[in-house]
Amino acid sequence: MAKLYFYYSSMNAGKSTTLLQADFNYRERGMRTMLWTAALDNRYGEGSITSRIGLKADAHLFDPETDLFEAVMADVATHGALACVLVDEAQFLTKAQVFGLARLADESNIPVLAYGLRTDFQAELFPGSAALLGLADALIEIKAVCHCGRKSTMNLRVDAHGKAVKQGAQTEVGGNDRYDALCRKHFMEALGG
């Protein structure tokens, strides 16, 4: 029986690297995979999953309107069986998309590995992450490290001067220039709380 997995962490934990390694493992054994990433994250070019250590792979793009279940099943009908579906930036999935991914595992026996942030810069769950935390068969935390050496669990948004940003839209794509992965203690201190 296939499962829906949610690999989550703060930023800079190696989620994309881990996804690309899992994809490589399947493909090295001659198995076909399908990669997806959020259309709104085009920092490294459209249709690409890129890790900060230099690994890269082409991926299909999803936006809130994408029916992932139907798109994957159409691909299977055209190209044959899939060994695995891998989703990067899973925090940007909608609740309906997460239900579609669960259907892939349950009805089509295709394992789904979703990788994403658990919370935003205000310590709020992303909609996709909330749905995955509720529906996934397996929850796997990928560890990142705060500057103090503790496990980082929070994503601090910073401005151009490195100062904490306390308000704004939930989604603002960025990397180390806009976010700092911190432990809860240093996150709270940075926010003045």
- The pLDDT tens digits for 27-70 are 999 999 999 999 976 666 677 888 878 888 999 999 999 999 99
Judge whether 186 lies within some domain: no
Q: Catalytic residues, which ones?
A: 89
Judge whether 12 lies within some domain: yes
Phi and psi at residue 100, to the nearest 5°: -65, -40
How many domains are contained in the chain? 1
Which domain covers residue 88, as residue numbers?
Answer: 4-143
Judge whether 157 lies within some domain: no
Judge whether 23 lies within some domain: yes
Tokens standing for residue 110: 């295709």
With 80 as the cut, is the pLDDT of residue 171 above it? no
Judge whether 152 lies within some domain: no
Q: Which residues of 63-90 are buried (b: 16+ CB within 10 A; e: fewer)?
A: eeebebbebbbeebeeeeebbbbbbbbb
Query: The domain spanning residue 96 has which CATH number?
Result: 3.40.50.300
Whole-prediction pTM: 0.90
Judge whether 43 lies within some domain: yes
Judge whether 187 lies within some domain: no
Judge whether 42 lies within some domain: yes
Q: Model confidence over 90-139: pLDDT tens digits? A: 999 999 999 999 999 999 999 999 999 999 888 889 999 999 999 999 99
